[in-house]
Structure 1
Amino acid sequence: MPMPTIAHIRALTLRGGGADYHDQDAGHWIDEHISTPMARYPEYRKSRKSFGLDVLGTLVVELEASDGTVGFALTTGGDLGCWIVENHLARFVRGQKVTDIEKIWDQMFHATLHYGRKGIVLNAISGVDLALWDLLAKVRGEPVHALLGGPVRDELSFYMTGTRPDFAQQQGFIGGKLPLHHGPAEREEGLRKNLQLLADMRQKCGKDFWLMYDCWMSLDLEYATRLAKTAHEEFGLKWIEEALPPDDYWGYAELRRNVPRGMLVATGEHEATRWGFRMLLEMECCDILQPDVGWCGGITELLKISALADAHGKLVVPHGSSVYSYHFVITRHNSPFAEFLNMSPGADEIVPMFHPQLLDEPVPVNGRIPASALDRPGFGVRLNPQCRLHRPFSSDSTGAR
């Protein structure tokens, strides 16, 4: 049988949770007093939504093949991402064989170099790329992980991100990652409160449970070094994550030299493409790379990033992106565990990460997901028909909803 071609491409938006997981109702832990690059301004310190972290919404990319098979993926991008997909990227997708993933990625990336390379453009490219992998796997009747070489272990192990590491321990996770609440602008009192919270969680979780701090690009080198040393030496902090702005490779290299022996430095959530991660690797900026598969360039680029990291002896633990990273992690030895982002308002329930946008999304039980839970074709999930999709632009009227 001839390989199907891609007949239609559609870019749509969704609001409320899901891929844009900061798009939550008031009172959600992910929007509470968390240290950010904007925390230097008191008026933007209490809520991340106050400075617009939730403005984009979810970007949905749908690809329909000539045989009627539909692949899709979610990322962050909203109307801006839709415009890029429909008005620029679509020309490199429509009419191509569903197997032409490498060529499509290369053309999308090089055609957008003059205004892309990172950020919203790479989000859009990532969304198209993930939809291509979903489509190809469905055409072949296989899970995406089978296209990546198949599982190298029988199950995925997880750490949990949220405000309740003690709950994570109760649920069988291997560790709990806290959001840092106070940055340099809150001076010594803020540092004291950060360490006090860590001390409280260490007491609740015991000495052997992993505890980590996610600093979300908000610190300077001096503050990050002080926090890391005290947090590790007194409370056994396993790693400090994304402590500095993502472009400060020199600062990360210095931080990694400064932290106590045995403590890990993690970053890369807001990095993109093999070239950005090559800087992190060659400058010895970190021990753990954390690309988000929906932002770094998709599965196609994540494979290259992982190969680079493996050659440098570094771990790749993707930023929480549900099934889109699970299918990758299960196939890679240098990705020994995965992140579960707890999206319940109080971080005290186990709920699907991309709820309500995805159906059939697996969640950890006792901190684990068996490989068999990822065996449905494609990424193994469906769009929730109850969610209201909006297509703001259309480059293909015959494929419009």
Structure 2
Amino acid sequence: MSIPTIKHVRAYVVRGGGADYHDQGDSHWIDDHICTPMSKYPEYCQSRQSFGINVLGSLVIEIEDSEGHVGLGVTTAGEIGAYIVEKHFARFLEGARVTDIEKLWDQMFNASLFYGRKGVVINTLSGVDLALWDLLGKVREEPVHVMLGGAVRDELQFYATGARPDLAKDMGFIGGKMPLQWGPAHGDEGLKKNIEKLAEMRSRVGDDFWLMFDCWMSLNVEYATRLAHAAQEYGLKWIEEALPPDDYWGYAKLRQQVPSTMMVTTGEHEATRWGFRMLMEMDCCDLIQPDVGWCGGVTELLKISALADAHGKLVVPHGSSVYSYHFVATRHNSPFAEFLMMAPQADKVVPMFNPLLLDEPVPVNGRLKISELDKPGFGVRLNPECKLHRPYTH
């Protein structure tokens, strides 16, 4: 059988939602008084956009083969990522066979070690990897989940991340994760307000609905421990990303100190098998949350998941829409998935990467049939109305 080769690689930048889901307009819950590592500075406390959370924008990668198939990948890396794709990674991709995904990952990773390893470089590599899997699926006319070994369940179930867990319950989700609003800089009064918010939500949703706190790297061990014990009364299921991602020692200590009924989760801003190896070998958490668009793509997520399985840890990827749904469908240690509520008031279900992608499936009553993913590749298309900018060529 003749295997197509990669002919063209193109990298674009787009603003306003999409993979950079923080790039929203005014009055969106995702930018409204959420505790961050910058919250200790009053001028950067109210809005995450004020300190530049949306500065990068979305990176869109197209990889075209010799037969005209085009693979699509998106991530958060913006113009920096576009430069890396066009000026560095393209040399490994163009001319390679579409099946050479493992080799291409290794070449891109090792060639960028001297300036990469994590952050925007691995985000970029992840986006390329997603485009490669999408391309191979279109060549084979198979969904990505089939190429990963096939689904192990008929449908996915979701918890919702957003400002209104009570509304998420009404929409059929199994749980609601809400952003923490006050951190160490706000003292005891801030901690009290966090617990009051949790208590209010518990009264609205009842005892059987999951509630979680997303702390977005903003706490220290002492504050996170106090928060966890104060939240125990209200049945908090887990405390997420409480510490900076490199503080493995702090996570190990926190996990020992939280109530036994509460999980410690993290990994959204971790990358590659080596970063997750640290989390697991130091027993930092109960559940890991790699983002397939940031951790190294599907190719690396498979390795991370195998490592987690060997350590008895659950893998629930950070919300990344279809790019993680295909993976979750195929893994027994990924029992449910995250859905980010991207409606400005978190009051309805809209596609996460809107308006960038078309044909993006969304949960109905908190569920998604695997049959909704039965399209070649990841099954999504670029919205032609989005204004793509190609800042570099090669």
SS in 1 for 2:199: helix
Query: Which amino acid counterpart does residue 250 of structure 1 have in structure 2?
Result: W
Query: Which amino acid counterpart does residue 200 of structure 1 have in structure 2?
Result: E
TM superposition shift of 1:230: 1.2
CA deviations over 1:109-156 (Å, ceiling 9, x no partner): 000001100000001100100000000000000000011001000000
CA deviations over 1:14-35 (Å, ceiling 9, x no partner): 1001100000001100000000
Alignment-derived partner of residue 399 in structure 1: none
Alignment-derived partner of residue 11 in structure 1: 11
Alignment-derived partner of residue 22 in structure 1: 22
SS in 2 for 1:201: helix
Work out whether 1:386 is the aligned partner of 2:392: no
In 1, the alpha carbon distance for the partners of 2:17 and 2:167 equals 22
Alignment-derived partner of residue 173 in structure 1: 173
Work out whether 1:273 is the aligned partner of 2:272: yes
TM superposition shift of 1:189: 1.1
Alignment-derived partner of residue 157 in structure 1: 157
After the TM superposition, which residues 240-259 of structure 1 pair with which residues of structure 2 at under 5 Å, given as runs?
A: 240-259=239-258
Gap runs ≥5 in structure 2 = none
In 2, the alpha carbon distance for the partners of 1:197 and 1:165 equals 11
CA deviations over 1:321-345 (Å, ceiling 9, x no partner): 0000000000000000000000000
TM superposition shift of 1:101: 0.1
In 1, the alpha carbon distance for the partners of 2:208 and 2:359 equals 34
Query: Which amino acid counterpart does residue 257 of structure 2 have in structure 1?
Result: N
Work out whether 1:127 is the aligned partner of 2:124: no
Give me the TM-score of the superposition, normalised by structure 2. Answer: 1.00
In 1, the alpha carbon distance for the partners of 2:331 and 2:222 equals 35
SS in 2 for 1:64: strand
In 1, the alpha carbon distance for the partners of 2:202 and 2:334 equals 26
Alignment-derived partner of residue 310 in structure 1: 309
In 2, the alpha carbon distance for the partners of 1:119 and 1:166 equals 34
In 1, the alpha carbon distance for the partners of 2:393 and 2:18 equals 23
In 2, the alpha carbon distance for the partners of 1:156 and 1:208 equals 19
SS in 1 for 2:352: coil
Query: Which amino acid counterpart does residue 197 of structure 2 have in structure 1?
Result: L
4+ long deviations beyond 6 Å: none
After the TM superposition, which residues 1-400 of structure 1 pair with which residues of structure 2 at under 5 Å, given as runs?
A: 1-232=1-232, 234-395=233-394
CA deviations over 1:160-206 (Å, ceiling 9, x no partner): 00001011110110000000001110111110110000000000000
TM superposition shift of 1:208: 1.1
Give me the TM-score of the superposition, normalised by structure 1. Answer: 0.98
Seq. identity, %:
72
SS in 1 for 2:295: coil
SS in 2 for 1:60: strand
SS in 2 for 1:130: helix
Query: Which amino acid counterpart does residue 195 of structure 2 have in structure 1?
Result: L
Gap runs ≥5 in structure 1 = 396-401
Query: Which amino acid counterpart does residue 272 of structure 2 have in structure 1?
Result: T
TM superposition shift of 1:262: 1.6
The total of aligned residue pairs comes to 394
Q: CA RMSD in A?
A: 0.4
In 1, the alpha carbon distance for the partners of 2:15 and 2:150 equals 34
In 1, the alpha carbon distance for the partners of 2:161 and 2:66 equals 41
In 2, the alpha carbon distance for the partners of 1:185 and 1:266 equals 22
TM superposition shift of 1:390: 0.4
